[in-house]
Amino acid sequence: ITNTPPVSACQGAKSTCWSVGMTDWDCPNNELCCFDGCANTCYFGPGKI
């Protein structure tokens, strides 16, 4: 991420996975976990957290 969003844009953002840059068991089919600028999210869809 080269530019992070303003703090106000991240209100209510929740992480859905924890292993940023790696496959994560919280993601469907152990897919990749990424930081989206506000929270850690599963690349292909919502996680279990």
What distance in Å separates the CA atoms of residue 45 and residue 41, rounded to the nearest whole number?
Answer: 8
The pLDDT tens digits for 1-49 are 677 788 899 999 999 999 999 999 999 999 999 999 899 999 987 766 5
The structural domains of the chain, with segments of one domain joined by +, span 13-49
Q: Identify the pLDDT of residue 45.
A: 76
Query: What residue type is 16 in one-letter code?
Result: T
User: Which segments within the chain are labelled E, that is strand?
Assistant: 33-35, 40-42
Q: Identify the pLDDT of residue 48.
A: 63
Q: Identify the pLDDT of residue 38.
A: 92
Q: Identify the pLDDT of residue 5.
A: 81
What distance in Å separates the CA atoms of residue 29 and residue 9, rounded to the nearest whole number?
Answer: 29
pTM: 0.76
Q: Are 45 and 17 in contact (CB under 8 A)?
A: no
